[in-house]
Structure formats: C-alpha cells, structure tokens
C-alpha cells in the first residue's frame, strides 16, 4: 500500500518519517517532491574498476544553471534529508523531468527502512539540458511493509551510505571487495 498525503503527514507527526526541509507545497496526493541539491559529482576517468575507488570531481551548480550532456553520469543529491523508520521509500522521476530527457536513477530507486540521508541521484540525459539547484527533480513514495524488520539500514554493519552528507556520494562497491576478499577472487 502506498501512503496518501494525509498518511504521510501523520507519519511525519509520529516521527516515522522525517523530511527536512519540509515544504507543504511539495506534498502530492500520494508522494513528496524532492529537489536537486547544489552539487554534482562526475567521475574523472573514462573506464571504471569496481574493485577500486573512482576518482571524481565535485561541481557546484551556478545560479545560471549547468548544462548536462549525454554520455556522462552525473551524481546529484536531493536537497531534502529524509528518514524512513517504518516505510519503504521509493524515489521516482517526475514526468516533467522525464519529458526533458533527464533520468534520475539507473537502478537505485528503492530505499530501505532505516535509510537516513540525502538521496544520491544517478543522473543521465539523452540530449543537452540545463539544470538548476533547487529545481524539482523527483518524488518519493512510501510503501508499507508487512512484518517486523530485523535490521534497519542505519543499524546494518555493511551499510555503506550511512554518513549524513548533502554531497552526492560515489560508488562504494570497492568496499565490498575489500570486506569479502576471498568471495570475489
């Protein structure tokens, strides 16, 4: 079941959901609009190695916006910090953003119960498009889950993206290889 606007507000009042900053006008009938933060991260080498940390550059989106170009993976982050203690959050693109040819995630649309952070966006475009810090970029929907949760994300030892930051985070896949060396050799 997807939470309605009234249920989202009730969950925030109870402390089961947290959205900062919370903008009442961003609340839809069954979703919450999130906005593009001021930073983008781009990898600085053309070929990736999943076993190694990837060098990257952090870009600040200027007030006049920044053109994104096809063929480049941009990591962005939501302005909003979110916490979900009882619901499974999903991040989806907004149709108006999709109609500009902007995709905001490749594979990571689902969050976990216990995820507490800004969302990192995996942004790609099909043709050049200028983006702006603060523009609506996606929407969160919240699903109920049946049963108890044994290990919320924030309490898992193998959770790689726990440190609170407004910056877009690069891939930490390489940490999986180092913590399970014999599994991947």
pLDDT number for residue 40? 98
> Strand, helix or coil at 153?
helix
Burial of 155 by CB count in 10 Å (0-12 exposed, 13-18 middle, 19+ buried)? exposed
Catalytic residue among 20, 80, 83, 122: 122
Q: Determine which of 25-29, 121-125, 163-167, 178-182 has the lowest per-residue pLDDT on average.
A: 178-182
Reported as a pLDDT band with limits 50, 70 and 90, residue 166 is confident
- Residue matched to tokens 């982050």: 77
- The helix (H) or strand (E) run that includes residue 20 is strand 17-20
Task: Using the CB atoms, write b or e for 66-103: b if 16+ within 10 Å.
Answer: eebeeeeebbbbbbbbbbbbbbbbbbebbeebeeeebe
pLDDT tens per residue, range 113-144:
888 889 999 999 999 999 999 999 999 999 99
Reported as a pLDDT band with limits 50, 70 and 90, residue 167 is confident
CATH of the domain at 18: 2.70.40.10
Task: Using the CB atoms, write b or e for 34-55: b if 16+ within 10 Å.
Answer: bbbbbbbbebeeeeeeeeeebe
Q: Give the total number of structural domains in the chain.
A: 1
pLDDT number for residue 159? 55
Q: Cβ(42)–Cβ(121) under 8 Å? A: no
pLDDT for residue 108 is more than 60: yes
Annotation says 92 is catalytic: no
Mean pLDDT taken over the chain: 87
> Strand, helix or coil at 54?
coil
Residue numbers of the domain that contains 180: 5-184
- Paired tokens of 4: 């309605």
pLDDT number for residue 185? 39
């Amino acid at each position: 079941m997807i939470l309605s606007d009234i249920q989202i507000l009730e969950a925030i009042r109870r402390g089961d959901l947290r959205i900062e900053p919370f903008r009442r006008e961003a609340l839809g009938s069954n979703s919450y609009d999130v906005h593009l933060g001021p930073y983008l991260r781009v990898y600085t080498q053309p070929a990736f190695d999943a076993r190694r940390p990837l060098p990257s550059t952090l870009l600040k989106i200027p007030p006049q916006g920044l053109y994104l170009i096809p063929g480049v993976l941009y990591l962005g982050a939501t302005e909003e910090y979110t916490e979900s203690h009882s619901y499974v959050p999903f991040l989806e693109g907004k149709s108006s953003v999709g109609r500009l040819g902007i995709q905001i995630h490749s594979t990571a649309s689902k969050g976990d119960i216990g995820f507490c952070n800004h969302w990192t966006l995996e942004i790609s475009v099909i043709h050049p498009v200028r983006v702006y810090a603060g523009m609506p970029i996606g929407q969160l929907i919240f699903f109920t889950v049946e049963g108890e949760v044994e290990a919320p994300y924030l309490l898992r030892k193998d959770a790689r993206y726990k440190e609170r930051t407004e910056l877009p985070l690069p891939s930490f896949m390489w940490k999986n290889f180092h913590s399970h060396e014999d599994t991947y050799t």
